[in-house]
Copies of this chain bind each other. A is one copy, B any other.
Amino acid sequence: MTPRFTALDTLDIRFPTSRDLDGSDAMNPDPDYSAAYVIVRTDEPGGHEGHGFAFTIGRGNDIQAAAIRALAPYLVGLPVPATLDDLGGLWRTLVHDSQLRWLGPEKGVMHMAISAVVNALWDLRAKREGKPVWRLLAELSPEEVVALVDFRYLSDALTPDEALAILRRAEPGKAERTARLLADGYPAYTTSPGWLGYDDDKLRRLCKEAIADGFTQIKLKVGADLADDIRRMRVAREVCGPDMRIAVDANQRWDVATAIAWIRELAPFDPWWVEEPTSPDDIGAHATIARAVSPIRVATGEHVHNRVMFKQFLQNRALSFLQLDAARVAGVNENIAILLLAAKFGVPVCPHAGGVGLCELVQHLSMFDYVAVSGTMEDRVIEYVDHLHEHFIDPVVIRDGRYVTPTTPGFGATMHPRSLAEHAYPDGLVWAVPA
């Protein structure tokens, strides 16, 4: 009997992070980090579950879960092996559904729902094959990788043949890079010191901890008040010294002119990049800002909603660091397209992470990129935030400022059953009992 998909269960999981101002920034003062969580089930005797989620910051997580639930009819009843062997095909079915696509197209709640399901299927496939996702992807042939990507709307920047050429160029040295990755891990940077809600003493203490922990890059949230930003940037630079890379992140707070003026005020403290200076939809504004504040470089991506937008950011030299997100675009498949685009344009990918479970996911994408796409870690770092990892069965491990390469099968997105139960909204223990 061919095993089939039997269910796509969704859970509304929320963490009351706003109670401690963790994750506070200029646009998100009070996030409750949340996961619209999905468990893909099959009828395979003794078989695995696929776990995935869309990340949100609180209110609306129920809408996100409803959108994931709407995808169940597209999966339930399909044969498991054939579906997992053609996730490119399933991706197209979900993304191009003739009625659901109106809700995007390819953006927002519906697209994030697809990310949750696609990532859960990759988790399931990797568990079945007994490999972490990064290795599963890295061991695919260039042809198999290209078949995962939808090149619609990309051909003016990247054709399937060009993608194949990029992947083939990376074939030599894969074994060596895999060995190096397993030995040394992948560079991380930490955002933990820099939340806006923290006072200077806490900032100072956390900067020292970042140095002691071996990080070579930190990130500060900015954009709410210029005088505060200058003071905090001075504190951070004093504590960290001239060699630490200090990125700043405005979380979309500014218009073009404000962004340029504000960044110039921070320039004396040598910011490594300025992140999300303005609307994530505004390719032209990013390009203008990038030209004006050079040599300070612009980074963005966590809210860039699909490969077509990333293509334009790259075509317009509107970003110098591409910050893909594991659960904003439609999952692994679309992120492979984005990694290939970045490789084509020679732009380093430095994934967005933090939130809940995003570190666990994105490490696989960067590690696949290193082994099989760009072939380099130069100027590449994965964001690290030390929140909420305890809820995952296979949490990320950071050592000497680097992600330790995961070796357990799957995508790392599986939460402890107890965490799921306690944080279920609104009936879980954490929410039912007032703080």
* Interface positions of A (Cβ within 8 A of B): 27-32, 56-60, 62-64, 66-67, 70, 97-112, 152-156, 252, 255-257, 278-285, 288, 303, 305-306, 308-309, 311-312, 315-316
Partner of A288, one of B29, B100, B156: B156
**What are the 9 A-B residue pairs with the smallest beta carbon separation, nearest first?**
A108-B108, A109-B109, A58-B99, A59-B99, A156-B256, A153-B279, A281-B308, A155-B255, A57-B102
With A110-B60, A316-B284 in contact, is A257–B103 under 8 Å at CB? no
User: How many copies are assembled?
Assistant: 2
Query: Can you spell out 21 A-B residue pairs with CB atoms less than 8 angstroms apart?
Result: A27-B101, A29-B98, A31-B102, A57-B98, A60-B67, A60-B100, A62-B70, A63-B103, A64-B103, A66-B66, A67-B109, A103-B108, A105-B280, A105-B303, A108-B110, A108-B305, A155-B257, A156-B257, A282-B312, A283-B312, A284-B315
Q: Which of A67, A98, A109 has the most CB of B within 10 A?
A: A109
Task: Determine how close the nearest CB of chain B comes to the CB of A104; give it in whole angstroms.
Answer: 5
Instruction: Evaluate contact between A99 and B32: CB separation under 8 angstroms.
Output: yes
Across-interface contacts of A63 in B (CB, < 8 A): 63, 66-67, 70, 103, 109-110
Q: Which residue of B has the minimal Cβ distance to A155?
A: B255
- Given A104-B108, A154-B255, 8 more contacts at CB 8 Å? A30-B98, A32-B99, A60-B103, A103-B108, A105-B303, A152-B255, A156-B256, A284-B316
Task: Determine how close the nearest CB of chain B comes to the CB of A63; give it in whole angstroms.
Answer: 5
Task: State the CA gap A372–B303 with chains docked (Å).
Answer: 36
Across-interface contacts of A306 in B (CB, < 8 A): 281
Across-interface contacts of A66 in B (CB, < 8 A): 62-63, 66
Task: State the CA gap A103–B68 with chains docked (Å).
Answer: 13
Task: Determine how close the nearest CB of chain B comes to the CB of A304; give it in whole angstroms.
Answer: 10
Across-interface contacts of A285 in B (CB, < 8 A): 153, 156
Instruction: Evaluate contact between A308 and B279: CB separation under 8 angstroms.
Output: yes
Task: Determine how close the nearest CB of chain B comes to the CB of A260; give it in whole angstroms.
Answer: 10
Instruction: Evaluate contact between B107 and A103: CB separation under 8 angstroms.
Output: no
Instruction: Evaluate contact between B278 and A153: CB separation under 8 angstroms.
Output: yes
Instruction: Evaluate contact between B28 and A98: CB separation under 8 angstroms.
Output: yes
Across-interface contacts of A108 in B (CB, < 8 A): 103-104, 107-111, 305
Across-interface contacts of A111 in B (CB, < 8 A): 108
Across-interface contacts of A281 in B (CB, < 8 A): 106-107, 153, 305-306, 308-309, 312
Across-interface contacts of A56 in B (CB, < 8 A): 99, 102-103
Task: Determine how close the nearest CB of chain B comes to the CB of A364; give it in whole angstroms.
Answer: 23
Q: Which residue of B has the minimal Cβ distance to A285?
A: B156
Task: State the CA gap A110–B112 with chains docked (Å).
Answer: 12
Across-interface contacts of A152 in B (CB, < 8 A): 255, 279
Task: State the CA gap A10–B26 with chains docked (Å).
Answer: 33
Task: State the CA gap A58–B73 with chains docked (Å).
Answer: 14
Q: Which residue of B has the minimal Cβ distance to A67?
A: B63
Task: Determine how close the nearest CB of chain B comes to the CB of A65; give it in whole angstroms.
Answer: 9
